[in-house]
Amino acid sequence: MRKFSAFAVAREAMRSHKGWEKQWANPEPKSSYDVIIVGAGGHGLATAYYLASVHGITNVAVLEKGWLGGGNTGRNTTIIRSNYLYDESAGMYNHAVKLWEGLSQELNYNVMFSQRGVMMLTHNVHDVQVAQRHLHANRLNGVDNSWVTPEEAKEFCPPLNISKSVRYPVMGAALQRKGGVARHDAVAWGYARKAAAMGVHIIQQCEVKSVNRDESGAVTGVNTTRGTINSKKVGVVAAGHTSVLMDMAGVRMPLESYPLQALVSEPVKPIFPCVVMSNTVHAYISQSDKGELVIGAGTDQYTSYSQTGGLHIATHTLEAICEMFPIFARMKMLRSWGGIVDVTPDRSPILAKTPVKGLYVNCGWGTGGFKATPGSGHVFAHTIANDEPHKINAGFTLERFHNGRLIDEAAAAAVAH
Amino acid sequence: MLLIYCPYCEKELPEIEFHGEGEAHIERPANMADLSDEDFEKFFFIRENEKGIVFERWRHLHGCGRFFNAARHSVSDKFIKTYKAGEPKPKLTKKEIEAVLPPAKSTPANEPIWTIEKEGEKK
Amino acid sequence: MVEAQRTHPLQDRLYAGNGVAVTPVKFHDRVSLRADKEAIAGLGKAIGVALPKDIRTANTKDEVSALWIGPDEWFVIGPQGTGLEEKLNKVKTGLFSVVPIGHRNTGMFVSGKNAVAVLNAGCPQDLSLDAFPISACTRTIMGKAEIILWRKDEHRFHVECWRSFSNYVWKHLTEAARCI
Amino acid sequence: MTAKSPNTGANRVAGKGRLSPAKTATFTYDGKSYNALEGDTLASALLANGIHLTGRSFKYHRPRGILGAGPEEPNALMDIARDKARRQPNVRATCQEVFDGMVAKSQNRFPSLEFDVGVVNDALGRFFPAGFYYKTFMWPQKAWDKLYEPIIRKAAGLGDSPDEADPDHYANQFAHCEYLIIGGGATGLMAAKTAAKSGKRIILVDENAEIGGGLLSDASVTIDGKSGSDWAAEILAELKSYDNVKVLSRTTAFGYYNHNMVTLAERVTEHMANPPAEMPRERLWQVRAGKVILATGAIERHLVFADNDRPGIMMASAAGVYLNQYGVTPGKNIAVYTSCDSAWTVAFDLKKAGINIPAIIDLRKDIDETLIKRAEDLGIRVLKHHGVVSTKGRLRVKSIDVEPVDGVSSETIDVDCLLMSGGWTPSIHLFSQSRGRVKFDEDAGIFLPDIYTENCVSIGACNGTFEMTAALNEALKSVEGKGKAPKVADAVSMSGFKIGAAKSAGPDDFTKAFVDFQNDVTAKDIRLAVREGFQSIEHVKRYTTNGMASDQGKMSNMHGLAIAAEMLDKPIPEVGLTTFRSPYTPVTFGALVGHNKGELFDVTRTTPMHECAVANGAVFEDVGNWKRAWYFPKAGEDMQAAINRECKMTREVAGIFDASTLGKIEVVGPDAVKFMNMMYTNPWDKLGVGRCRYGIMCREDGFIYDDGVVARLAEDRFHVTTTTGGAPRVLNMMEDYLQTEFPEWNVWLTSTSEQWAVIAVQGPKAREIIEPLVEDIDLSNEAMPHMSIREGKICGVPTRLMKVSFTGEAGFEINVPADYGREVWETISERGVPMGLTPYGTEAMHIMRAEKGFIIVGQDTDGTVTPQDAAVGWAIGKKKTDFVGIKGLNRPDLVAEGRRQLVGLKTIDGKVVLEEGAQVVDDPNHAIPVPMIGFVTSSYWSEVLGHSIAMALVENGHSRTGETVHIPMPDEVIKAEICSPIFYDPQGGKVNG
Ligand SMILES: Cc1cc2nc3c(=O)[nH]c(=O)nc-3n(C[C@H](O)[C@H](O)[C@H](O)COP(=O)(O)OP(=O)(O)OC[C@H]3O[C@@H](n4cnc5c(N)ncnc54)[C@H](O)[C@@H]3O)c2cc1C
Ligand SMILES: NC(=O)c1ccc[n+]([C@@H]2O[C@H](COP(=O)([O-])OP(=O)(O)OC[C@H]3O[C@@H](n4cnc5c(N)ncnc54)[C@H](O)[C@@H]3O)[C@@H](O)[C@H]2O)c1
Ligand SMILES: Cc1cc2nc3c(=O)[nH]c(=O)nc-3n(C[C@H](O)[C@H](O)[C@H](O)COP(=O)(O)O)c2cc1C
Ligand SMILES: [Zn+2]
């Protein structure tokens, strides 16, 4: 892998950029691999990369039905934070943030991780109680998070309307300064490039159609639109499509797949310096390096694999945006789209072994898994390599749904994303 | 915004009058008290989450208030039919299913072309 | 001791302009009536107007009206002091539930040539005469509030909502009227 | 209005165009004042005044001019203002009509449009290939957000965001019709005319100010023997006479959603000099159509060649529009570079208007002889099978170099304007949004509608039917019309096309040949992306950002696709299109928000006694949609002082509280008890008529879902109360079970939350205060014990009077029909206040219930707490064989050791009030992460007890009474003792007064 650098760009400029190599190859699938990862999203690619870099397992195929990074990774609003309530979550997301901090250098790919701060607004007494509970738990878990007054919030985010006369005045906010955003595409591409360089096969346009198992029930491989590919270890990292894939192996999942929409405005000069989210009025917003306001909407109320949803969901969010930031009412929506989010009953992910020998699953990230990408890939690689969960994902099991040991970020009134 | 036929109001009405109520045909076990943990998990947590024909519950919350069921394709988001609560899961005809199959989008990256066989595979 | 008087949630309100008038409906008796098949006929007799079997329609006799809301649900409205509750509870045949909601609900009339346009600013239903003829009624949405919509005439509608939503619904209707 | 006979520009062509020279308007552009004709777009007005230069490009800051005449415009994006607050960036000068007093500014330049320091990016352009930022700015690690990112951000972004709240308002309209016809060109009009007679409801929309589409700019065509524009005008007049037809101009269909919902953005006042205050600026239409007729036409493509982006280089069809519609010529010496017939017609029109046409350069070998003949007759030089290989001129094109397609000898031609045409791309945006599937037509080089998934049809140019007669026949058919289309003569031919790189943009050229103008994507960038392994068109799009600008690639996508396909050596359809998404053109947030702002942003619910609280100087808190009186500060009192007084007075004398927001459900029917037994953990059989009981409701998972007091009014009638926030979801859950699990049970549910105003009168003097106001009810403890209900009268109106207490004091909750609430409250106050009756708010209520250890669902529980955890296990009917939650409750983890259980906490230093949400630990000195064993759910200063009180969920709390735990705060560690949560009147004698 030839190194990326300002110097390399200058050198290539001199020969009109003829010298760049492919960032990843498009190999024909081999007949078998040590590990198959299903799904070339951020989490799948990261898993493959850490299998290679941490565990020395490079005979790995990542199978992708479409184009790599084209799932939720390629359509998310890229909010990164770790101020979750429960110890398990804090452990997972904090682990991820640590990895984010060095990721561009580690991958030699600028993922534009920008710690501009994530501010979560409170609008009523209950919001404040919930925020305080998070703040105290975060502090004792070593997670950065602090309380700011409406005035401090305004200073941190000038477009914010803190007038007392609005319908739901801002009563303060929880601010995680280490939180921020990253460039979604770059994350997928960076992992793909480095993983490919270490020998991982990324096979696109290759849809897994069924999962093969021997008489003992153990996994032996998968049938794809590009033929049968064997492996004793298969990791499913298919987000919205997890139920479909696990079904192929006879495992039923506690998941539902909903459309989640987002939209961007036309690009403007820097106006919005951070990330702001509000659970009570349902909106979250940031400004990308290209200048668009990136705005996340909610899920539609029915399950769907269509990557589209109703306009009323997006407008509901824009109402909240214009209420909190009245100066944006004359901005224009440039494009809207949807993804398919896999939602668990307790809104926490599943990263675990399954009842089927050799089958591993990483799913249930729902509306908020982009932030976890490096951490998730890192511990999932560990789980596959050692057939044993890492202590960070030990709690994110499938069993919790029959013993009831849920990690209920939803019930604890945590917010999405 | 979907258009949903309410089998009680006997009319196609806008989605915002309705409330999605999740997967249909999950009966509450009569012996709830002594259900096994596995069976409770199946009942309360496990979902079909079908990519294809889904059977789901709706409530005409801001209308007649009735709960009812629907058969819908979860990729085209088109309804095959809606039917009253308590009615058995309908057997869908080939014709009914074909009518709601989504065509592939033209980009090769996107969904494969849907065929009746694909539905057939599903138990 | 002086008897406490009612306070109308839309006291002293009035809007007229742009081909629409919005006016509060004065105090009425209202009942949420739920009944099984056997009871229907008797209940109708009791209040002097048959409970409509036709979906989404209202029957009116004298000043008492019964609106079809759901398969076993009717909204009955009559002038204050009609004694709807008492009359209905006298019925002996069939099973039913009578719950007075005269104070839960508040009404307003929307009338004029632009009435439909004003309603459709927040109500997603097709309100053309074919889809929603005279004396049609339905529970539906007005912006972010639930309402009962009842067409009294081509250009005259009766809108019902819960009292704490009435200010919102009023504001929505009048704001829409301004924008016509 | 402006001066006597204002000069509206040197480039007006006498006798051309459709605007009345009488009406003029004045506007400023970059500070300089100009005149325009009313009806001018900003673009036509600028061109009339000889201005091409309108902006700087995104990345290289290259000077850019007006390229098109419609919504596809990538370059001429302006900042348009009426006044300081009414300013909008990135407005297309080609769509925005000039109004008198309009202030327009160019964007993305510093310090000025003519001299922009950003151009260094252009000189250094080769250092900024596609995706360069992914490859650099990585060292040192910290420098990204601190140093590089701010620079990149400053350079990126087009206009400046508005900086003041938008004073305008916007409207929404739901509409239904049998036919929604999108596009008011020849085909759309034909369809509308035909359908109108059917009497069906028809909506015809067009994004332009004037309806007529291509016809308006077509000088030659005749239909029915009339000029195209006259024919259009006649139909329009006819349509206006039908009241089943609605015609909306300035209205863009921007989204095609499920089940034939199409959304329209109507620009209502943006063209007016003084919009009436009442009028909305824009209106959002949400149209549910029986059938959608797509007559959206086609958009002309540019040609991809070296330096094809200089100001003065523009689309041929645009020049046709400016000349024939606005009477403006874009230049005096105009060459035409094309691969499509329609551009020839434009050349002829210009020539006839007296403009010099040095040459028509056509890439094609064989060209329709009649075109060549007409060119010769007009004395226009024709360069067959030639291409433009370079252009000169910094702020405006000066000259072009022309070469035979397969030759080298180049010739320089001086021009002040160059028109180009790469042929037409059908507007299939909306069709694709409807999730229809397209197919590729090799011969015409266009994607066309193939499989439809909604009830819609494409007709005319958007269906690839460029021949007008055929298009009109499609229109007839689309609405089940009979007969034949009117006779068409001299229609413009639109055949001939070029997609991808033309000569001088080839693989081995070092030039900048632009594919996407706004995002500065060149042919080179597309090739680089493919070379680097970005083989999916979706990857190419994202790596180069081709088609991601505010024009969404209306002109560039086909070129990008063709260049990528060539590199990949794959046929175009195999590479495929990127996904079309809503909106078709950008839509103002305000329009999407519509009425739902300010007062209408969300419902504000107030209780019947709200005005009484206001009169008492209440401070309100938001609880869901409700405004609830939080506390009642007297002059000079802060919150703490007020609530201390409210608690004290209530406990010593009496307090009055508005509890109307509590949810109420009337459960009626012979099976009511059976139903209650299923819904609540409690048993209900033994609850006598006239008695009340506190009930707990779980979900099947066994966690507390809601609670409330339930009163039995009759054998078959219960008055159920729920939490304020829980009311709707509890009723929904009850209905769910009733309708879907137990439909055979005879019981009905009705929400009575708002039927009853609820006035709580609590405290030692409560009875004394209300007794004289009550009729037909004996209030004595014997006749009416704690937890009972009676029906009778108060203040002469019916009441459901409950003897219940959420404060621990003897007290009543008086339910009266809501409209009476206000006067009943006032009457009670008139009598009680002199005796010391004190209004108290939700905060005092919270304190007093906490002093009694009563939980608040949602504060002391969070959806992970079982009745046992919350110390209300007694509310579970031990003998019951079924109720919602009976299994969930007994799952392994819910009965396991170490669950968090609700306890009281007494701080060792009673003056210290714990913070709600503070975490409880055993070992405060433990290194981070510190194991947490619970948290504080409720905490208050208790004035009555003289010390702080708190409730907390603590691991194994129920068996740890008396033990000391630690609550670490940022600056200190607080010690507290685990105790019973019942702090006040543990024996509970007070409720009996
Ligand atoms: C609109 C939106 C906004 C969001 N905002 C945020 C946010 O702000 N912050 C945050 O942290 N998270 C956010 N999320 C969630 C986040 O995007 C996801 O949790 C995360 O990207 C999941 O990554 P993944 O790699 O697991 O899934 P994906 O990126 O979806 O990858 C799964 C891949 O599996 C492939 N696949 C599926 N089936 C098959 C098959 N049969 N064979 C082969 N391949 C298959 C898919 O094509 C896909 O590429 C958002 C999501 C959406 C949709
Ligand atoms: N300038 C020309 O020579 C020219 C241009 C177009 C069409 N034609 C010919 O004229 C005949 C009929 O043309 P047509 O009617 O198919 O196309 P048209 O271009 O004449 O009309 C299409 C109209 O639809 C409008 N439109 C497009 N998308 C819209 C949207 N989303 N919302 C609202 N309005 C929208 C356009 O502004 C345009 O006014 C065809 O034979 C075609 O070949 C000629
Ligand atoms: C953070 C972020 C920023 C985006 N910015 C733009 C943009 O500036 N312009 C644009 O056309 N699309 C933008 N998109 C949307 C993509 O074009 C595309 O809609 C999205 O990746 C979903 O893919 P699909 O629409 O092809 O299904 C952005 C997407 C994300 C996640
Ligand atoms: Zn209904």
Tens digit of each residue's pLDDT (9 = 90 or more) over D530-564: 999 999 999 999 999 999 999 999 999 999 999 99
pLDDT tens-place string over residues D160-207: 999 999 999 999 999 999 999 999 999 999 999 999 999 999 999 999
Question: ipTM of the predicted structure?
Answer: 0.97
- Could you give the angle at the alpha carbon of A129 between the alpha carbons of A125 and A131, nearest 5°? 115
C8: CB partners within 8 A, 6+ apart: C24, C26, C27, C106, D819
Q: Are A382 and A54 in contact (CB under 8 A)?
A: yes
The answer to whether the CB of A349 is under 6 A from ligand 1 is no
Token representation of residue D147: 């140093």
CB atoms within 10 A of CB D459: 30
Do the chains contact at A306 and B108, CB–CB below 8 Å? no
List phi, psi (to 5°) of A4: -85, 135
pLDDT tens-place string over residues A266-293: 999 999 999 999 988 889 999 999 999 9
Residue D138's nearest CA partner among A197, A95, A103 is A103
Q: Which residues line ligand 2 (CB under 6 A)?
A: D 182-188, 205-208, 213-214, 217-218, 252-253, 295-298, 317, 320, 342, 427, 430, 460-462, 466-468, 471, 492, 494, 584
List phi, psi (to 5°) of D193: -55, -45
| Band of pLDDT at residue D5, cut at 50, 70 and 90 | low
Closest residue CA from atom 16 of ligand 3: A75
Amino acid at D667: V
List phi, psi (to 5°) of C156: -140, 125
- Distance (Å, rounded) from C-alpha A16 to C-alpha A88? 50
Residue D338's nearest CA partner among D359, D366, D361 is D361
What are the Cα distances from residue D66, in Å, to A65, A267, D40, D351, D387?
A: 42, 20, 14, 21, 22
Q: Are A265 and A331 in contact (CB under 8 A)?
A: yes
Residues of chain C scoring pLDDT < 50: none
Q: Are D908 and D975 in contact (CB under 8 A)?
A: yes
pLDDT tens-place string over residues C104-134: 999 999 999 999 999 999 999 999 999 999 9
Radius of gyration of chain B (CA): 16
Which chains have 3 or more CB–CB distances shorter than 8 Å to chain A? Answer: B, D
Q: Mean pLDDT over residues A165-169, rounded?
A: 93
CB atoms within 10 A of CB D876: 20
| Band of pLDDT at residue A416, cut at 50, 70 and 90 | very low
SS (H, E, C) D945-993: CCEEEEEEEEECHHHCCCCEEEEECCCCEEEEEEECCCCCCCCCHHHHC
Q: Mean pLDDT over residues D759-782, rounded?
A: 97
- Distance (Å, rounded) from C-alpha D286 to C-alpha D203? 12
pLDDT at res. D137: 86
Q: Are D766 and B108 in contact (CB under 8 A)?
A: no
pLDDT at res. B110: 44
- Distance (Å, rounded) from C-alpha C105 to C-alpha C26? 11
How many A from CA of A341 to the centre of ligand 3? 17
pLDDT at res. D108: 82
At D889 the three-state DSSP class reads helix
Chain B CA closest to residue D886: B33
Half-sphere exposure of D450 (CA within 13 A, CB side): 11
Determine the distance in angstroms separating the CA of C25 from the nearest CA of chain D, rounded to an integer. Answer: 14
Q: Are D467 and D491 in contact (CB under 8 A)?
A: yes
pLDDT at res. D105: 95
- Distance (Å, rounded) from C-alpha A64 to C-alpha D418? 46
- Distance (Å, rounded) from C-alpha D712 to C-alpha D77? 69
Q: Which residues pair with D204 in a beta bridge?
A: D181, D247
How many A from CA of A417 to the centre of ligand 1? 13
Q: Are D812 and D765 in contact (CB under 8 A)?
A: no
B121: CB partners within 8 A, 6+ apart: none
What percentage of residues in chain D have a pLDDT greater than 70?
99
pLDDT tens-place string over residues D88-128: 999 999 999 999 999 999 998 777 878 777 777 777 778 88
D974: CB partners within 8 A, 6+ apart: D907, D908, D909, D912, D914, D918, D966, D967, D968
Find the CB nearest B33 among D437, D741, D886. Answer: D886
- Distance (Å, rounded) from C-alpha A392 to C-alpha A403? 20
D362: CB partners within 8 A, 6+ apart: D337, D338, D339, D344, D382, D383, D384, D385, D386
SS (H, E, C) chain B: CCEEEECCCCEEEEHHHCEEEEECCCCCCCCHHHCCHHHHHHHHCCCCCCCCEEEEEEECCCCCCCEEEEEEECCCCCEEEEEECCCCCCCCCHHHHHCCCCCCCCCCCCCCCCCHHHHHHCC
| Band of pLDDT at residue D469, cut at 50, 70 and 90 | very high
Closest residue CA from atom 7 of ligand 3: D548
Q: Mean pLDDT over residues D478-503, rounded?
A: 95
Can the peptide bond before residue D929 be classed as cis, meaning omega within 30 degrees of 0?
Answer: yes
- Could you give the angle at the alpha carbon of B53 between the alpha carbons of B51 and B59, nearest 5°? 110
- Distance (Å, rounded) from C-alpha A363 to C-alpha C179? 48
- Distance (Å, rounded) from C-alpha D113 to C-alpha A354? 63
pLDDT at res. D139: 81
How many A from CA of A68 to the centre of ligand 3? 15
Q: Which atom of ligand 1 is nearest to the CA of A240?
A: 30
pLDDT tens-place string over residues A386-404: 999 999 999 999 999 989 9
pTM of the entire predicted model = 0.97
| pLDDT exceeds 70 at position B113 | no
CB atoms within 10 A of CB C46: 17
Q: Which residues line ligand 3 (CB under 6 A)?
A: A 74-78, 184, 264, 288, 290, 292, 294, 307, 334-335, 337; D 548, 552, 578-579, 581
| Band of pLDDT at residue A415, cut at 50, 70 and 90 | very low
- Distance (Å, rounded) from C-alpha D1 to C-alpha D19? 17
Q: Does the CA dihedral A74-A77-A80-A86 come out positive or negative?
A: negative
CB atoms within 10 A of CB B48: 21
Determine the distance in angstroms separating the CA of C108 from the nearest CA of chain D, rounded to an integer. Answer: 16
- Distance (Å, rounded) from C-alpha A243 to C-alpha A257? 8
**Max Cα separation, chain B?**
52
pLDDT at res. A409: 85
What percentage of residues in chain B have a pLDDT greater than 90?
80
| Band of pLDDT at residue D3, cut at 50, 70 and 90 | very low
Q: B-D interface: how many C-beta pairs under 8 angstroms? A: 95
Residue A66's nearest CA partner among A239, A295, A261, A285 is A239
| pLDDT exceeds 70 at position D361 | yes
- Distance (Å, rounded) from C-alpha D539 to C-alpha B46? 36
Q: Mean pLDDT over residues D140-159, rounded?
A: 84
At A148 the three-state DSSP class reads strand
In A171-307, where do the E strands start and end? 172-176, 180-181, 201-203, 208-213, 219-224, 227-230, 233-236, 256-265, 275-278, 283-287, 293-299
Q: Average pLDDT, whole number, for chain A? A: 95
Token representation of residue D529: 């992306």
Residue D144's nearest CA partner among B23, C30, A157, A186 is A186
Chain B CA closest to residue D448: B106
| pLDDT exceeds 60 at position D149 | yes
- Distance (Å, rounded) from C-alpha A87 to C-alpha A94? 10
pLDDT at res. A98: 97
Q: Does the CA dihedral D121-D125-D128-D129 come out positive or negative?
A: positive
**Max Cα separation, chain C?**
54
pLDDT at res. D4: 54
Q: Are D709 and D733 in contact (CB under 8 A)?
A: no
Find the CB nearest D928 among A67, A142, A268. Answer: A142
D879 close contact with B: CB closer than 8 A: no
| pLDDT exceeds 70 at position D45 | yes
**Max Cα separation, chain D?**
116
CB atoms within 10 A of CB D112: 11
| B-chain residues near D736 (CB < 8 A) | 21, 59, 67
Find the CB nearest B66 among C70, C140, C146. Answer: C70
SS (H, E, C) D42-92: HHHHHHHCCCCEEEECCCCCCEEECCCCCCCCCCCEEEEECCCCCEEEEEE
**Max Cα separation, chain A?**
68
Do the chains contact at B44 and D259, CB–CB below 8 Å? no
At D710 the three-state DSSP class reads strand
List phi, psi (to 5°) of D765: -95, 10
Do the chains contact at B63 and C140, CB–CB below 8 Å? yes
pLDDT at res. C108: 98
Chain D CA closest to residue C165: D605
